[in-house]
A and B are shown apart, each in its own frame.
Chain A
Amino acid sequence: MSTDIVRSAGARPGAFDPDAIVVTGIGAVLPTGRGPEALWTAWRESRSALTPYRDGYVRTEKITHFGHVPAELQQLSRDSVPHKLRKFGTAFTFNAVLAAEDAMRQAGESWQAIPEERRGLYVAQDDSTELSVAAFHKALDRARTDTSPQVGADLTRVVAEAFGNAATFNPFTVIRALNNNTLALVSIAERFRGDCAAFVQDAGAALGALQRAAFSLRHRDCDTALVVGAGSFNEPLKLAAHYRAGHLTAGAPGTAPLRSFDAGRDGTVLAEGAVALVLERAGDAAARGARPLVTVAGAALRPAVDSGLGPAALAESARGLMAAHGMTPDTLGAVLADGKGTVRHDAAEAELLRALLKDSGVPVSSVRPVTGTLGAAGPLAELALAPSLFAAGELPPIAHLAAPPDDGTDFVTGTARKRRIDSVLSLHSSFNGFAGALLAKRPHLAEETT
C-alpha cells in the first residue's frame, strides 16, 4: 500500500471527475532555461545543460560539473522579485518567484479572481541555505582579511569578530537560512494568504508538497494550490558531503558527465532550479475555462525504514498507486526513472524497475542526464514534462546511454520512442533514504464525457 494516495473516490474510470486534481499552469527556471518547453527541447535533443562547476567563492577541482541556472536567467529571476524583498532571498528563492509568476500567468487571468485567502501554497525547498561557508566567507571578507592568518590559531576571536559585527554580517542571513524562505517570499510576492506547508527532504519534499496540496484541494482547505520546488546543491559543505559519499562524477574528459544507467556511469551531477505548478480541482478549472495540462493522479513517498526491504517495497507502493486508478504497469504510457547516475542508486533503481515492470514492455527514460540531480524541484520537473509527452506522442531517449543494463527493462536509447502516452509514472529517490513515485495522467476534458 502506498503511503499516500491522492484520488477521488467514486469517480468512474474514464469519466470527467470534477474533483480530479489538474495542473493549469507551469513555470520552470532550470539549467535548461526558462519554462517547460526549454526543458522538453533539451531532452528531445539529448542536449545536456550540465556545465563546468563555477562559483564566486569556492575553488575546487573535485566538483567538476554542475547544473547551473544560466546567469542571464538568474538575473531575470532576481529582477522578478520586488526590490524590497530581495535582501531576504537567495538566488534559488528568486528562481522560485519567477517560476511561480510564469505558472500563474499560464493559469490565466480568471485565476486571479480566486481570493487570496483561498490560495494555498505548498513548497519544497532544498536543504542548502545561505548560512554556509560562502556566507561565512563573505562575512570574513568584509570584516577584513587581516584576520585570515589567525584562522586555525584563534578561531574564537575570528568567529566572534565575524559574527559579532553587524556591519560585516548580513543581518538577514538567518532569514535566508530558513528553509521556509521560498514559502515566505513567494507568498508575499504573489499574494498567497491561504493554507500552506513547506517541506525539506530532498526530492521527497516535492512529493510531500504535492500530496498536501492535492489533499487540501480535495477537502476544500483551499481553492487553488501553488506547488513550488526550489533549491540548489551549490553549497560547499553539501558538495563536500556528496563528494565524500562518492555520489559525484569525476567528469573524465571526453565523456558525458552524467550517464544514467550506463555501465560506465561514475556518479551524478548536482544541480539547481525551481519549478512551480498551479493545481486546481478539474471542475473549477473547467468552470473558469482553464485548460488542464495534466492530472496529478497521486504520489507515494516511503521513508528510510523501507530501505532494508529493497526495491520490492517501493514497487509495491507504485503498484498500489496505479491500482488506485485502475492501472497496471503494462497500461502505463511511460516511466521516467530518477537515474541519478551513481553506481549504487542506479543499480537499486534498475532492480526496482525490473520488479515493477517485469515484462510489461513499458519504455523507460530519464531526464537526469540533461538537468542533473535537482533535489526539491526534481519531481515537479518530471511533472512539467508530462504535457509535452502527451502532446508529442514520443518518449525521448536517455541521453548518453550507450550500455544499458541487459535485464529486460526497456530503456530508451538513441532515438525517441513513438507511442501514445496517456500516463507517466516517475520514480524518485533522495540521498537520505526516502523514495517515492508520482503518477500523472492525460487530463479528461469536461466536454469529452458529456
Chain B
Amino acid sequence: MSRRVVVTGLGAVCGLGLDWQTVWEGLTAGRSAIRAWQLPGVDDFPVRYAAPVDDAAFTARYGDGGGADEPLERRTRFGLAAAAQALADAGLEAGAAGAGAVGRIGTAVGSGVPERDPYELLHAVGADGRPGWPTLLDRRDRLNRASGLFCTNDALAAGIAARHRLRGPALNFSTACAGATHAIGHGFRMIRRGEVDAMVVGGADSVLNLPTMTGLHLLGAPSTSELFGDRLCRAFDRDRSGLVAAEGAAMVVLESEESARRRGAPVYAELAGFGSSLDAYQVTAPHPEGHGAALAMSRALADGGVAPHEVDSINAHGTSTPLNDPIETRAIKDVFAAGEHYRKLAVTANKTMLGHLIAAAGAPELIATVLSVRDGIVPPTLNLENPDPACDLDYVPEKARYQEVSVAVSNSFGFGGLNASLVVRGYEH
C-alpha cells in the first residue's frame, strides 16, 4: 500500500505569532521575532538576543495550555496549543462534523531537553554543598511542579493523544534540531503505508532557561554578538556568528488523500517525500563535505519520486552558525549539481525571522514550506547584507519573492549529525 499524504491542518505558536496565519504573514512581510532578551534573574548572561513567546499574550489566548490538572512545561503548553489549532484547522477537533470520518489518528512530536529550573536543582543542595535526599525532601514545597520532577519528555505526545482522544500511535522523537522533522517524516511514512489514516505531527521546545542556554553557550552555539542588534541572525552572511535561540511549537495534520477527499477537507499541499541520514562524523560538527545533509535530501527526493530539476525552493536549515551555512550550501550544490540546477533554487532561511526553535525548528519551517507552495511566495532570508563567498546561492535576501513553487524541500540537521529532509509538492487531484 502506498497512499498520497496531504496536509490538512496547521498550527503554530512562536515569537512571530500565536497562530499560523500571523506567523505566515510575518514571514512573508520579513518581520523578525528576534529581540533583546535577558534570562530571568541573570542580568549579565552573555547571550543577549532570542525569540521568545509573548507570555502574557499566550496566556491570555490559551490559558495555561488547556486546563491541565498539573502545571506544564512551557514547551508542552505551546505544543498543546499548536496541536489544538492544527486539529481545529483541519476540522478534526472533538465534536467537529468531519472528525468521525477519519479512521485512526495518531501523533508524533519532536522534543528536546527537559526544562530544568536551576533553582529547583539548588533545592537539592544542602548546606555542605552536596545534593541530598533529605534536603530535597525538606524543601519539597518549594519545588516547581511544572519542571523536572513532574514532567517527562513524552508528556506532549501523551497530552495530545489524551486531550484529543486519538486512537492511533503516540510517539515522542528526540533527534535534537531534526526532531520535529523526523517526527513529521515518520508520521508521513505511517500514513503512506497504511498504518494510520492521519497524524498530528510537529514539535515543541523551549530552551530559554538558564541550564540549557548555558550548555548551548558553552558549546559556542548561540551568538553573543551585539553588533547587529535584533538583526543578529544572519544566515549565509559573512558576519554570522551563531544561532539565535527561540521557543515555540508548530503542528500539522497529515492525512491520507482518500481520507481528506472523503470528508471534503481543504488541502494545503502534498507531503511527498522524507529522507533521513546520519553523518557518523562528529558530535558537534557536521560532516565538512555535507555528506549526511546531501544524503537526506537525495533520499527525500527519491522517496517522493521527484527529480532534482523539479525543485523550485529550499527551506534551509540555515542556522547562522559558521559551520552549518557553507556546508549546507555545499550539500545543496551537490544534490542539485545536474545542469547547475542549484543556481535556479530559491533558498530561504526562516530562522532569520523565527530564531532557532531547536527540536521544534522543522515544524514551523514545514508550515512555511507548505504555504510557500500554496501561495507562491518564498519568504526572505533577512540580514543577508554581505554574503559569505562560500555561500553563493540565491537566498532570497531581505524581501519575500512571489514565484511559482511547485516543489520545495525543507531541511533540518541536528547535533550529533542527524539529518532529515521533507519534500512538499503542490496538491492536485
Least CB separation from B172: chain A residue:
A201
A195: B residues at CB distance < 8 A: 276-277, 299
CA distance A172 to B217 in the complex (A): 10
B125-164: which have CB < 8 Å to A? 125-134, 136-137, 140, 148-150, 152-155, 157-158, 161-162
Which of these binds chain A: B24-32, B38-46, B404-412? Answer: B38-46
A85: B residues at CB distance < 8 A: 283
- Known contacts A151-B122, A166-B218, A198-B175; is A140 also within 8 Å of B129 by CB? yes
Would you call A127 and B211 a contact (CB within 8 A)?
A: no
Would you call B153 and A240 a contact (CB within 8 A)?
A: no
Which one of A61, A171, A198, A240 has the highest number of Cβ atoms from chain B below 10 Å of its Cβ?
Answer: A198
Would you call B173 and A188 a contact (CB within 8 A)?
A: no
Least CB separation from A174: chain B residue:
B215
Q: Is A416 an interface residue (CB 8 A)?
A: no
- Known contacts A58-B132, A131-B114, A133-B124; is A237 also within 8 Å of B44 by CB? no
CA distance A62 to B116 in the complex (A): 23
Query: Least Cβ distance of B264 to chain A in Å?
Result: 26
Would you call B154 and A183 a contact (CB within 8 A)?
A: no
CA distance A303 to B127 in the complex (A): 42
Query: Least Cβ distance of B141 to chain A in Å?
Result: 12
B270-296: which have CB < 8 Å to A? 276-284, 291-292, 295
A141: B residues at CB distance < 8 A: 129
CA distance A199 to B111 in the complex (A): 9
Would you call B170 and A196 a contact (CB within 8 A)?
A: no
Would you call A201 and B122 a contact (CB within 8 A)?
A: no
Query: Least Cβ distance of A14 to chain B in Å?
Result: 25
- Known contacts A184-B416, A185-B283, A432-B158; is A305 also within 8 Å of B149 by CB? no
- Known contacts A204-B154, A240-B133; is A184 also within 8 Å of B415 by CB? yes
Contact of B186 among A147, A160, A194, A212 (CB under 8 A): A212
Would you call B189 and A215 a contact (CB within 8 A)?
A: yes
B155: A residues at CB distance < 8 A: 432
A430: B residues at CB distance < 8 A: 154
B370-429: which have CB < 8 Å to A? 414-418
Q: Is B228 an interface residue (CB 8 A)?
A: no
B145-202: which have CB < 8 Å to A? 148-150, 152-155, 157-158, 161-162, 165-176, 179, 182, 186, 189-190, 193, 195
A349-366: which have CB < 8 Å to B? none
Query: Least Cβ distance of B70 to chain A in Å?
Result: 12
Contact of A117 among B133, B295, B417 (CB under 8 A): B295
Which one of A149, A191, A215, A305 has the highest number of Cβ atoms from chain B below 10 Å of its Cβ?
Answer: A305
Contact of B121 among A129, A133, A201 (CB under 8 A): A133
- Known contacts A195-B277, A241-B149; is A181 also within 8 Å of B416 by CB? yes
Name A's B-contacting residues (CB within 8 A).
1, 3-4, 57-63, 85, 88, 116-117, 121, 125, 127, 129, 131-134, 136-137, 140-141, 145, 147-149, 151-152, 155-156, 158-160, 163-164, 166, 169-175, 177-181, 183-185, 187-188, 191-202, 204-205, 208, 211-212, 215, 219, 221, 236-237, 240-241, 244, 301, 303-305, 307, 430-434
Name B's A-contacting residues (CB within 8 A).
41-42, 44-46, 104, 106-107, 111-114, 116, 118-122, 124-134, 136-137, 140, 148-150, 152-155, 157-158, 161-162, 165-176, 179, 182, 186, 189-190, 193, 195, 210-212, 214-216, 218-219, 276-284, 291-292, 295, 299, 414-418
Interchain Cβ contacts under 8 Å between A and B, 15 examples: A59-B134, A170-B218, A175-B283, A178-B176, A181-B416, A184-B418, A196-B278, A201-B152, A201-B154, A201-B157, A204-B154, A208-B169, A221-B189, A305-B162, A432-B155
